[in-house]
Chains A and B, each alone.
Chain A
């Protein structure tokens, strides 16, 4: 299309948005330039920011997968997904405390037999939490979402918001409103050091490693099993899948179970990293994971993984990289604002996300 016609078709709002977008980019670039020029942080600092971001991001990615799986199959945002994450983490707290009391989480070093037991215990905690979260997710789907198939789109969304609050405050009622400190796995506090001052904490290695394994398992499940194939078929076209003899309700329940399991696993990893649980711990990570899912293109599995990692890194590096350069005091307070600004910008400028090709106009 010739430029003149393109220009004439340009709507005033597009111009305004273009200016907004350009100014955001300019501010980010200017802030980054100022920070880098000042030389406040050296390579090891940036490396540790990056690793912290990757760790946080892999947790986001696990939660984001749940959003994406459900969205892919039902075209609905499961607003209560953050609470499914909390349910797993908070319930597992009791198992973790009990096992920690038996000494299963203590070891001098990871290489020993005791160290192997610590890792085994962590796997056990992840499996248990995944199980609890899966159950909550399936019950939620059965009770609140299944009767609403085919209802106008606003209705399931409002139901999901209601379910989110219900679950959050049920957890508060059941387990109390206080912060519960997760047992300290001291062996994970050690650091793997490389030359030149670069190092990674063991808990970060464990979180990134587990998340990686879980994501591989998910891809294998979705691509390699019959159930996974059924899930893809239902996501593609529910009616046609039903005609091919796929039990749609069961497939949807499985999707919720899988998404819930990933969220539960993420809950344990989150708790290991931050060493505490509380009833509203899942709300903000849930929102951010949703951001991640949108970033990567919602409904798209690799997209959710990528979006999660990207968001984690942006959140961890961003405040120091460009906010500090702008002379903003205590930039880390604005970490959440970065995530939400990214959400808003992506939804406005590229609602299909980084990898999303499926344009769902009604979304």
Chain B
């Protein structure tokens, strides 16, 4: 017994259980469990074995709360590690996992017990009978108070989850990672089922739709398919040490190349890079035809956010000037287009221009706006800069919504009747009816997809510009500025022009983004230009990695693309953004795809920090 309790297993279990239980209560009471339960991941999880059991399918809601308990068990086992150990002793680890599960499970169990007797919905909006049914595996029916069985079932499942979580930590690290990758693959593939359904070419291509039917039922994956997928992903991860070793080697080379990590690539690497870029370009051009309208629409939005992200990346990532009012430039771009092009006789200037005529003015105005907003903030730094720019953003929005400028900017009703950028007729399709239609679909620029290509072009141009700027004299000046303003100035960098250039370039990117946004939607409202846009853009560059250009793409896909596709997340989008920001800052401040320099710097700083 005493061997079991060694290293304070009980205490660790209690603590982790309390934390895990709090997380379970939180995800239940904010409504995530119930909302996510609508998305099933694996259908008939246990196959014929589970016929009489209450667990019929694995859904995302269960993943959210049972997963929290499982991870708490895992964390409890990890906490028992001595320095330098891979695996904790089995007995105490399993015990800690079990205690974690029991303590964590007691909280939702108590919630069910209380909730079925008292009306908690008076206070907690989401404390509904549906939630209690989900938390007790269907043992609590609507309206009936829970019995001891439901209470025990919840706790039992959680104990099981805690023990399993701890047991996972007993596996050798390589297997553990492989299992993690496998499970994650199944979860992701199960979650994106809807998304796959929306892709046109899956439907049109015989073997792909065959694969789809084999893998998925109407709700969730086939259990066999899920198992195979898990095995395949885990196996691939296990037998891929070669790939990993190669990556390690490359990283080693980069480190050896000196402190800058910019070793000139070899000829072969360069060819590979160009081939890769060419492939991506072809894929992107084919995208709206192959994937159809809905994914293309989402990509439009992702593209606009990439544009803004690239711009803010220059201001925040390169030059280190935290701008929380970035939406102001987006709004200026959109309103410039709106005012100049709208055909509504009540607002705007009645110029009746097209988007293309307005675009040069957008660039001009945003440069001017960038400089105008830049000049006053030249002397402020860090936190104050963030707040000032936030103030600017709010002022622009308040002005747009106010009656004072209504004849000009439309007030709260916004500007409508913004014409489409192209007025093309539907082109007769040369491929129609022959096999290539499966690949390309119908080329139809008459529908909304038309804005996809201008956005794509703008994104590529912006990425190229910011990549060139990054390695130019200005790029180096920005980075010097970010590191230490005083030293940068002493080295002969002109702070005024450097900062203003960062603001102006960032502003132009956002302005073009806004112009395309206005043209895409055909109408703009002040409510689309709130602080949230600034926060979205900030979150995406932080998730991707500050100062990293590929990071902007990764961040935009993850932060803007995913939630657009997974509608269940809509209500929890900002909650999750907030959590993602906090967790990223605590665990991985350099982002998913960090710029080499930032990564080294953050690691060095965390090594050097001595806490008082």
Q: Closest approach, in angstroms, between the C-beta of A289 and any C-beta of chain B?
A: 12
Pairwise interchain contact A362-B575, C-beta atoms closer than 8 A: no
Confirm or deny: B157 has a beta carbon within 8 angstroms of a beta carbon on chain A: no
Number of contact residues on B: which range applies?
A: 35 or more
Assuming the contacts A158-B542, A348-B380, asked whether A13 and B575 have C-beta atoms less than 8 A apart, the reply is no
Pairwise interchain contact A333-B398, C-beta atoms closer than 8 A: yes
Q: Given B395, B574, B584, which contacts A168 in the complex, CB threshold below 8 Å?
A: B574
Pairwise interchain contact B586-A148, C-beta atoms closer than 8 A: yes
Assuming the contacts A328-B404, A334-B404, A351-B384, asked whether A161 and B538 have C-beta atoms less than 8 A apart, the reply is yes
Q: Closest approach, in angstroms, between the C-beta of B465 and any C-beta of chain A?
A: 24
Q: Which residues of B contact A162 (CB under 8 A)?
A: 539, 577-582, 584-585
Q: Closest approach, in angstroms, between the C-beta of B496 and any C-beta of chain A?
A: 6
Q: Which chain A residues (144-192) contact chain B, with CB distance < 8 Å?
A: 144, 147-159, 161-170, 172-176
Chain-A contact segment, one of B26-34, B107-115, B232-240: B26-34
Chain-A contact segment, one of B269-277, B385-393, B417-425, B452-460: B385-393
Assuming the contacts A170-B30, A239-B612, asked whether A17 and B582 have C-beta atoms less than 8 A apart, the reply is no
CA distance in complex: A144, B404 (Å) = 42
Pairwise interchain contact A17-B586, C-beta atoms closer than 8 A: no
Confirm or deny: A198 has a beta carbon within 8 angstroms of a beta carbon on chain B: no
Q: Which residues of B contact A144 (CB under 8 A)?
A: 582, 586
Confirm or deny: B378 has a beta carbon within 8 angstroms of a beta carbon on chain A: yes
User: Which chain B residue shows the least CB distance to A165?
Assistant: B578
Q: Closest approach, in angstroms, between the C-beta of B8 and any C-beta of chain A?
A: 21
Confirm or deny: A248 has a beta carbon within 8 angstroms of a beta carbon on chain B: yes
Pairwise interchain contact B582-A166, C-beta atoms closer than 8 A: yes
Confirm or deny: A290 has a beta carbon within 8 angstroms of a beta carbon on chain B: yes
Number of contact residues on A: which range applies?
A: 35 or more
CA distance in complex: A20, B373 (Å) = 12
Assuming the contacts A151-B605, A158-B581, asked whether A248 and B384 have C-beta atoms less than 8 A apart, the reply is no
CA distance in complex: A176, B377 (Å) = 39
Q: Given B29, B122, B378, which contacts A173 in the complex, CB threshold below 8 Å?
A: B29
CA distance in complex: A20, B380 (Å) = 17
Q: Which residues of B contact A341 (CB under 8 A)?
A: 391, 395
Pairwise interchain contact A330-B384, C-beta atoms closer than 8 A: no
Pairwise interchain contact A165-B535, C-beta atoms closer than 8 A: yes
Assuming the contacts A13-B496, A334-B398, asked whether A344 and B388 have C-beta atoms less than 8 A apart, the reply is yes
Pairwise interchain contact B125-A174, C-beta atoms closer than 8 A: yes
Pairwise interchain contact B404-A329, C-beta atoms closer than 8 A: yes
CA distance in complex: A147, B584 (Å) = 12
CA distance in complex: A358, B485 (Å) = 21
User: Which chain B residue shows the least CB distance to A361?
Assistant: B381
Pairwise interchain contact A149-B538, C-beta atoms closer than 8 A: no
Confirm or deny: A336 has a beta carbon within 8 angstroms of a beta carbon on chain B: yes
Q: Which chain B residues (553-608) contact chain A, with CB distance < 8 Å?
A: 571-572, 574-575, 577-582, 584-586, 589, 602, 605-606
Assuming the contacts A173-B29, A333-B398, asked whether A154 and B320 have C-beta atoms less than 8 A apart, the reply is yes
Pairwise interchain contact A151-B609, C-beta atoms closer than 8 A: yes
Pairwise interchain contact A94-B123, C-beta atoms closer than 8 A: yes
Q: Given A13, A161, A172, A294, which contacts B535 in the complex, CB threshold below 8 Å?
A: A161
Confirm or deny: B376 has a beta carbon within 8 angstroms of a beta carbon on chain A: yes
CA distance in complex: A239, B394 (Å) = 39
CA distance in complex: A337, B606 (Å) = 40
Assuming the contacts A151-B605, A169-B572, asked whether A175 and B123 have C-beta atoms less than 8 A apart, the reply is yes
Convert B11-29 into 0s and 1s, putting 1 for each residue whose CB lies closer than 8 angstroms to a CB of A. 0000000000000001001
Convert A74-113 into 0s and 1s, putting 1 for each residue whose CB lies closer than 8 angstroms to a CB of B. 0011000000000000000010000000000000000000
CA distance in complex: A16, B26 (Å) = 52
Q: Which residues of B contact A33 (CB under 8 A)?
A: none
Confirm or deny: A202 has a beta carbon within 8 angstroms of a beta carbon on chain B: no
Pairwise interchain contact B581-A159, C-beta atoms closer than 8 A: yes
Q: Given A167, A337, A343, which contacts B578 in the complex, CB threshold below 8 Å?
A: A167
Q: Which residues of A contact B589 (CB under 8 A)?
A: 151, 155
Q: Closest approach, in angstroms, between the C-beta of A280 and any C-beta of chain B?
A: 10
CA distance in complex: A165, B535 (Å) = 9
CA distance in complex: A290, B379 (Å) = 20
Confirm or deny: A238 has a beta carbon within 8 angstroms of a beta carbon on chain B: yes
Q: Which chain B residues (352-402) contact chain A, with CB distance < 8 Å?
A: 375-384, 386-388, 390-392, 394-395, 398-399, 401-402
Confirm or deny: B304 has a beta carbon within 8 angstroms of a beta carbon on chain A: no
Confirm or deny: A229 has a beta carbon within 8 angstroms of a beta carbon on chain B: no
Confirm or deny: B177 has a beta carbon within 8 angstroms of a beta carbon on chain A: no
Assuming the contacts A165-B577, A168-B574, asked whether A157 and B124 have C-beta atoms less than 8 A apart, the reply is no
Convert A10-33 into 0s and 1s, putting 1 for each residue whose CB lies closer than 8 angstroms to a CB of B. 010100110010000000000000
Pairwise interchain contact A159-B30, C-beta atoms closer than 8 A: no
Q: Which residues of A contact B586 (CB under 8 A)?
A: 144, 147-148, 159
CA distance in complex: A242, B610 (Å) = 13
CA distance in complex: A288, B605 (Å) = 34
Pairwise interchain contact A348-B611, C-beta atoms closer than 8 A: no
Q: Which residues of A contact B538 (CB under 8 A)?
A: 158, 161
Q: Closest approach, in angstroms, between the C-beta of A323 and any C-beta of chain B?
A: 9
Q: Which residues of B contact A287 (CB under 8 A)?
A: 390, 394
Q: Which residues of A contact B30 (CB under 8 A)?
A: 169-170, 172-174
Confirm or deny: B259 has a beta carbon within 8 angstroms of a beta carbon on chain A: no
Q: Which residues of A contact B579 (CB under 8 A)?
A: 162, 166
The 9 closest A-B pairs by CB, nearest first: A162-B581, A173-B30, A166-B578, A165-B578, A176-B125, A169-B575, A340-B391, A150-B609, A162-B582
Task: A170-B575, A175-B123, A175-B125 given; name 6 further pairs at CB < 8 Å.
Answer: A17-B375, A157-B383, A169-B574, A340-B395, A348-B388, A363-B382
9 A-B residue pairs with Cβ-Cβ distance under 8 Å, sorted by A, are A149-B612, A150-B611, A162-B539, A162-B577, A162-B582, A165-B574, A173-B575, A242-B612, A337-B394
